[in-house]
Amino acid sequence: MSPDVYRRDDVAVRQARLAEVVADRIIPQLLRLHTEVLPDAPPVELVVEALAPSSSDISGLAHVVLGSDLEAAARYVLVLRDRGLSMETLFVELLEPAARYLGQLWDQDECDFIDVTLGVARLQKLLAMFNGSHLLPELDTRRTVLMAMTPGDQHSFGANMVLRFLEGAGWDVAPAFDRTAAEIARAVGARWYAVAGLTVGSERSLPALEETIRLIRRESRNQMIAVMVGGPVFAANPALALEVGADGTAMNAPTAVLMAQKLFDEMVLKTAN
């Protein structure tokens, strides 16, 4: 569009009118065409649903990334993206489920830890490629995570598994287990971290988790630090993550790698803007 158009005094009004015309006239006409001119066509919502990745799409991508051909995996995602799906939709309905599927293969002893780690690392690379963060200068030095348990929790198995998968995918992970909320806050204040990961064992620890997240955001050297959380309570109710002040949650250790990359990419985009 010509720069002269943007300098017009009435550009905001004209844009608002255009949006109104599209919403009030064009879209309703398209819907009528869909139902009247093509009476045998499926409802619009069914068309959209048909575009979504299927379970075979998910398992198919998981098996592709277990191989060594990253370009083949990228082409696989491109085919699905060409259906009209956004990267946000592909993350939620394809990449994250594929990572979860890899975790299930590992749980069922159908893949060993190294295979799953490499597969998750390739999924992470795909996400970075499609989001453009792989072009970031000094990328590896900025992919840092502080991994901690909610103060008062005693079981570190879940946090340790997340740590191992993150390290396998190339993240620089600093453990901060058995720390108080104040000590965790001092740790993120002493060093720049892109992401803070916290696990919680039960609902009783949610108030402590919420307070820890609040201190992390207040004291962090990186004022745009992303916080992801995990544990059984979030597996049962993922929406709870936002309620305690986190940016996201992951169902298992492999999906935590994808969530960390997603949050990292979002932070990069915010910084660029």
The pTM score is 0.78
pLDDT of amino acid 271: 74
pLDDT of amino acid 47: 40
pLDDT of amino acid 171: 95
Strands (E), 43-184: 144-149, 172-176
pLDDT of amino acid 1: 36
pLDDT of amino acid 177: 94
Judging by beta carbons within 10 Å of its beta carbon (0-12, 13-18, 19+), is residue 186 exposed, middle or buried?
A: middle
Q: Provide the residue type at 253 as one letter.
A: A
pLDDT of amino acid 268: 81
pLDDT of amino acid 140: 61
Q: Provide the residue type at 206 as one letter.
A: L
Q: Provide the residue type at 116 as one letter.
A: V
* C-beta of residue 140 within 8 angstroms of C-beta of residue 100: no
Is residue 4 classed as helix, strand or coil in its secondary structure? helix
Residue 145 pairs with which residues in a beta bridge?
A: 173, 195
Give 10-residue mean pLDDT values along the chain (273 residues).
Answer: 42 48 51 51 44 87 91 88 85 94 94 94 92 66 92 89 95 95 97 96 94 98 96 94 97 95 88 67
Closest CA to 144 of 71, 219, 194, 97: 194
How does DSSP classify residue 43? Answer: P
